[in-house]
């Protein structure tokens, strides 16, 4: 990556990290309710793939761990935070919550809470793209354990059968909640599972954004040039619990420490220090600036925004 892009994406990943850490705090303060699934540790997956794709142009869909994907597509962090606060100014008008972030204007087509639910939705968007003849692709980000749903197999079959322009990104963080992949899944290498449907696939390190980017370029190019669907597995790790009530008893602190040695933000930062004369001072100043932005703008906006009106409880159930 060029220095300019490295700097930009480093900043974006730091924003994502600090945003999520601030959500954690707001949850403890009971400002955010419900289930809250945080993204720290996995940033290189979303940012690497979306650097290769066209955010705001390609259609993106994912599960419940969705704040960062929305922001990368172009959602305003203020509107995302307001959504978590259940405010009318939230991107889903306070009707969705953490697991249902939507920003259709930026073609972020939503967070969905049923594991495996987005697979066929992504294929359907690809079907629409195919019919309408645009240059877009559909991108579906889901976890590893979602691949044990029937919807995964049903969708892979249809996507391959109809050569749909859809990229499936599997963010393999080794666990489905607290169940290690090898305890739930007969074939642990997820990229191998789609060969039964004749879908091209690839696997790579999901912690080094420049590695992700390289593999994602190939994946995106494959789908955009209408060669059919593609499946990209990224090996990654989430630092925090699955959701907020998770003491992580199913994995060791040593394992967590090992993964943190390969932190996506630190890796890129350190490479920039070695290769680009980037300095730690620059990085720390950026972090500070981002924290200020989150506190003074994002949190402030969410705090000060009005609640949805109770009189509008049933608005959006059906079309007016």
Partner 1 sequence: MAEIMYWEAIQRAHDEEMARDPLVICMGEDIGVAGGTYKATKGLYEKYGPLRVMDTPISENGYTGLGVGASFLGVKPIIEIMSVNFAWLAMDQIFNSAAKVRYMSGGQLTAPVVVRSAGGAAHQLGAQHSARMEKVFMGIAGLRVVTPSNPKQAYGLLKSAVRSPDPVYINEHELMYNMKGEVPDEEYFHPLEGSEVARSGTDVTLFGYNISVHWCLKAAEILAKQYNISAEVVDLYSLSPLDRAGIKKSVAKTHKAVIAEEDEAPVGVGSEIMAIINEECFWELDAPPVRVHSALVPQPYAHNLEKATIPDHEDVVKAVLKLFGKA
Ligand X SMILES: Cc1ncc(C[n+]2csc(CCOP(=O)(O)OP(=O)(O)O)c2C)c(N)n1
Q: Give the residue, chosen from 12, 51, 103, 144, that forms a contact with Mg ion under the rule CB under 5 A.
A: 144
Alpha carbon distances (Å) from 219 to 13, 76, 205, 229: 22, 27, 15, 9
Residue closer to partner 1, measured from CB, 134 or 292: 134
**For the window 217-246, what string marks contact with ligand X as x by the rule CB under 6 A?**
-------------------------x----
Q: Which of residues 92-121 bind ligand X (CB under 6 A)?
A: 113-115
Q: Are 246 and 82 in contact (CB under 8 A)?
A: no
316 is an interface residue for partner 1 by CB under 8 A: yes
C-alpha distances out from residue 120 to 71, 115, 116, 187, Å: 23, 12, 8, 22
CB 168 within 8 A of CB 219: no
Are 69 and 102 in contact by the 8 Å Cβ rule? The answer is no
Shorter beta-carbon distance to ligand X: residue 78 or 242? 242
Rule CB under 8 A: say whether 70 interacts with partner 1: no
15, 36, 109, 181: which one binds partner 1 (CB under 8 A): 109
Please identify which residue in 40, 96, 176, 241 interacts with partner 1, judged by CB under 8 A.
96
Is 176 near ligand X (CB under 6 A)? yes
Measured CA to CA, the distance from residue 116 to residue 20 in angstroms comes to 23
What DSSP state is assigned to residue 299? I
Residue 177's binding partner, choosing from partner 1, ligand X, Mg ion, none, with beta-carbon cut-off 5 to 8 A by kind?
ligand X
Helix (H, G, I), strand (E, B) or coil at 225: coil
DSSP string, 22-40: HHHHHHHTTSS-S-----T
Helices 280-293 and 3-28 pack at an angle, to 10 degrees, of: 50
Is the Cβ of residue 173 or residue 305 nearer to Mg ion in the bound state? 173
Decide: 308 and 86 in contact? Cβ < 8 Å: yes
The contact mask relative to partner 1 for 14-53 (x = CB under 8 A, - = no) is ----------------------------------------
Q: According to CB under 6 A, which residues from 279 to 308 bind ligand X?
A: none
Q: Residues in the site for Mg ion, rule: CB under 5 A?
A: 143-144, 173
Q: Residues in the site for ligand X, rule: CB under 6 A?
A: 65, 113-115, 142-146, 171, 173, 175-177, 242
């Amino acid at each position: 990556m060029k220095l300019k892009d490295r700097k930009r994406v480093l900043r974006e990943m730091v924003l994502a990290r600090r945003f999520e850490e601030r959500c954690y705090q707001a949850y403890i303060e009971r400002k955010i309710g419900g289930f809250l699934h945080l993204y720290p540790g996995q940033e290189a997956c979303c940012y690497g793939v979306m650097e290769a794709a066209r955010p705001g142009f390609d259609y993106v869909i994912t599960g419940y761990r969705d704040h960062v994907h929305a922001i990368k597509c172009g959602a305003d962090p203020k509107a995302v935070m307001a959504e978590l606060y259940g405010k009318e100014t939230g991107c889903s008008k306070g009707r969705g919550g953490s697991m249902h972030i939507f920003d259709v204007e930026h073609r972020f087509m939503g967070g969905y809470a049923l594991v495996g639910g987005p697979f066929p939705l992504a294929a359907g968007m690809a079907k629409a793209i195919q019919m309408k003849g645009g240059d877009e692709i559909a991108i579906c980000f889901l976890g590893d354990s979602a691949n044990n749903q029937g919807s995964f197999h049903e969708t892979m079959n249809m996507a391959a059968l109809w050569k749909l322009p859809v990229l499936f990104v599997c963010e393999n963080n080794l666990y489905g909640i607290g169940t290690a992949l090898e305890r739930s899944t007969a074939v642990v290498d997820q990229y191998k599972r789609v060969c039964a449907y004749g879908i091209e696939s690839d696997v790579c390190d999901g912690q080094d954004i420049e590695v992700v980017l390289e593999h994602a370029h190939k994946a995106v190019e494959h789908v955009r040039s209408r060669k059919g669907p593609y499946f990209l597995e990224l090996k990654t790790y989430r630092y925090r619990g699955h959701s907020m009530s998770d003491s992580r008893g199913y994995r060791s602190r040593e394992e967590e420490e090992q993964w943190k040695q390969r932190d996506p933000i630190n890796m890129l930062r350190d490479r920039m220090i070695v290769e680009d004369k980037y300095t730690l001072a620059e990085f720390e100043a950026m972090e500070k600036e981002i924290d200020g932005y989150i506190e003074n703008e994002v949190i402030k906006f969410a705090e000060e925004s009005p609640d949805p009106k109770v009189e509008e409880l049933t608005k959006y159930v059906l079309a007016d």
